[in-house]
Amino acid sequence: MKKHNIVLVGGGSTWTPGILKAMTTHLEQFSLNKVILYDINKERQEVIGKFAQILFSEEAPDVEVIYTTDKEVAFKDIDFVFCQIRTGGFDMRDRDEKIPLELGVIGQETCGPGGFAYGLRSIKDMVELVRDVRENNPDAWILNYTNPAAIVALALDKVFPEEKRILNICDQPVNLLRSYAKLIDYDVDKLEPVYFGLNHFGWFTNIYDKQGKDRVPELKQKILAGGFNPVDAEQRSQSWLDTYAMVKDMLEDFPEYLPNTYLQYYLYPDYKLSKLDPEWTRTDEVRNEREQKIFEECNRIIENGTAKDSKVVHNDAHGDMMVEVAASIANNWKQTFVVMVRNNGIVSNLPSDSMVEVHASLGANGPQPYAVGEIGTFYKGLIENQHAFEKLTVEAYLEQSYTKALQALTLNRTIVDAKKARKVLDALIEANKGYWPPLY
Ligand code: NAD
Ligand code: G6P
Ligand code: MN
C-alpha cells in the first residue's frame, strides 16, 4: 500500500489533534510516510506540532512529522492536503456573530450575514492556497473543510472550473447519521444515506440499512416522540444540544424529510434571534471550552512527554471522516459519503452551476454522485433562494460589487428587509477592513 505525504493546513486548528489521532488509528486503511502541519500562526502551530510529534512517536514512529509556517516547506511532494483554516481567527468569528445580532438579525458562523462575512474572508485565502499547492503538486488531492464551506466550494468552482481534485466536505451529515444510528441502535457504517441540498442546507430523504429497509420513518417517529440528541451529547455545549432539539420542531412543521440542523436559522429566524445572546455567542463558548481544553491538554502532553493518557484527542466524527474520505480516494474504495459537487443535473430542477451536497461514491476518480432527480417545490424554492444568495456573495467578492453584496444579504432568509441588509453590510464592511476587497 502506498505511503502518503500529507499536509494539514490550519495545523494549529482546534480540530487538528482529533484528525491526527484518527490518522494514527487508520494507518492500515490510509498509510502515511510524512505528516506536515502548516499554519500562519507560529505559536498555535508549535503547540499542536509538538503534540503531534509526541503522539506519532508513540503510535506510529515510522511516520515523519514536521510543523512549519513556511509554505515552501509545507507544499512539496504532497499527495493529500487536509485544509481547515479560519481567516481572521476567533476575533473575527466573534464579529460575524455579534454585529448582526446587535442589529437584530441572526449571527452565526456559516448562516446568514455571519457566513457571508466569513465567506468573503475565506475566499481570498482559499484561492491563494490552491494556487500555492498547485505550483508544485499538480495531482495532490485538496480536501477542504474550511467554512463557510458552501461559499468556499462555489468560489473555488468558479475560480478553478477545470479542477478535478478539490473536494469540499462537511461533517454534519455524518454527525447526524451517527446520532440516528444510536437512536435505532444500529451500526452507522452499515447505513446508506440518501441526501440532497446545499451545505448546511439539506435533507436526508432515506437512510437504508443492510437489509435495504428505509429507517427514516422509524427515525422520524422516534424524534417526534422523544426529541433528538447528538450521539456525543455529554461532550457538547448547551448551544449544540439546543440545536439538535430543534430537529423535532422542524419535523413537526415539515414531516417529509430529516432536516440538517442548520436549517433552523432559515426556518425560524425570529425564534432563534430571541434565543441568541449578543453578549455571549458560540465564539465565547468555543474559546472557553474547545479551544482552551485543546491547548491546555496539548501543553500538558508536551510537559509530560506522553500522549498515552490523553482524553481530549478522542476519535470524533470529524477526524474519522476526514481520514476515511482520504482512504476511500487513495484505495479506490468507492464508499458513500455526503459531499459537495457541482450540480450538473444531479438534482434535475436546480441550477447546474450550484454546488449541491449529495451522497456520492468516492474513489480514485473523485466523487461520483448519485442522481437525485426532481425535488419538490418547497425544497426547490428554498434552495434556489439560498443558491442565489451564495452565488451573489461569490460574485460580490470577485467583482468587488457593493450592489451584489446588498442583493445577496437581501435575499438571505435571515434578513429579507433591504434596509436592514444595508445596515448589516455597512457594519460588516467596517469590521472586515483589510480582509475583504473594497466593494464599489
Ligand atoms: P481555529 O481558529 O482554531 O483554527 C484555524 C487555524 O487556521 C488557526 O490556527 C489559524 O492560525 C489558521 N489559519 C488561518 N488562516 C490561515 C491560512 N491562510 N493558512 C494557514 N493557516 C491559517 O478554528 P477551528 O474552530 O479549529 O476551525 C477551523 C476551520 O474548520 C473553520 O473554518 C471551521 O469552520 C472549519 N470546520 C469545518 C467543519 C465542516 O464540517 N466543514 C467542521 C469543523 C470545522
Ligand atoms: C459542525 C459543522 C461545521 C462546524 C462545526 C463546529 O460539525 O458542520 O461546519 O464548523 O460543527 O462548530 P463550532 O460552533 O463548534 O465551532
Ligand atoms: Mn459543516
Q: Which pLDDT band holds residue 309 (cuts at 50, 70, 90)? A: confident
Kindly give the number of the ligand 1 atom that is closest to the alpha carbon of 41: 11
Q: Band the pLDDT of 314: cuts 50, 70, 90.
A: low
Q: What is the mean pLDDT of residues 294-313?
A: 90
Nearest to 62 by CA among 18, 122, 139, 4: 4
Could you read off the pLDDT of 390-428 as tens digits, one per residue?
999 999 999 999 999 999 999 999 999 999 999 999 999
Question: Would you say 111 is a known binding-site residue?
Answer: no
- State yes or no: pLDDT of 149 exceeds 60: yes
| Distance of alpha carbon 341 from alpha carbon 353, whole angstroms | 10
What is the rounded CA–CA span in Å between residue 29 and residue 19? Answer: 14
Residues with CB under 6 A from ligand 1: 9-10, 12-15, 39-41, 44, 84-87, 89-90, 125, 145-147, 149, 170-172, 318
Per-residue pLDDT at 316: 76
165: annotated binding-site residue?
A: no
- Average of pLDDT values for 66-83? 98
pLDDT, position 313 = 58
**pTM, to two decimals:** 0.98
The 10 Å Cβ neighbour count of residue 48 is 25
Please tell me the residue having the least CA distance from ligand 2 atom 14.
282
Query: How is residue 388 written as a grid cell?
Result: 442565489
Q: What value does the mean pLDDT take over residues 332-349?
A: 98
Residue pLDDT, tens place only, 176-203? 999 999 999 999 999 999 999 999 999 9
Averaged pLDDT for residues 143-149: 98
| Residue 80, strand partner residues | 6, 141
Give residue 315's pLDDT band: very low, low, confident or very high (50, 70, 90): low
Ligand 2 proximal residues by C-beta, below 6 Å: 109-110, 147, 170-172, 175, 282, 286
* 147 labeled part of a ligand binding site: yes
pLDDT digits (tens, 9 = 90+) for 85-126: 999 999 999 999 999 999 999 999 999 999 999 999 999 999
Identify whether 139 is a catalytic site residue: no
Mutational test site, ligand 1, from 7, 8, 15, max ligand atoms within 8 Å of CB: 15
Any idea which of 78-87, 231-240, 279-288, 331-340 has the lowest mean pLDDT? 231-240
Residue 2 alpha carbon to ligand 2 centre in Å: 32
pLDDT over 90 percentage in the chain: 97
What's the start-to-end Cα distance of the chain, in Å? 53
Residue nearest to atom 15 of ligand 2 (CA): 286
Q: State the chain's mean pLDDT as an integer.
A: 97
In the chain, % of residues over pLDDT 70: 99
Which residue type sits at 79? D
d(CA 84, CA 12): 9
pLDDT at 311 over 90: no
186 assigned to active site: no
Mutation to probe ligand 1, out of 48, 73, 86, 285 (largest number of atoms < 8 A from CB): 86
Q: Please list, residue by residue across 401-429, b when 16 or more beta carbons sit within 10 angstroms of its beta carbon and e when fewer do.
A: bbebbbbbbbbbbbbeeeebbbbbbebbb
310 pLDDT above the threshold of 90? no
Q: How far is the CA of 72 from the centre of ligand 2 (A)?
A: 30
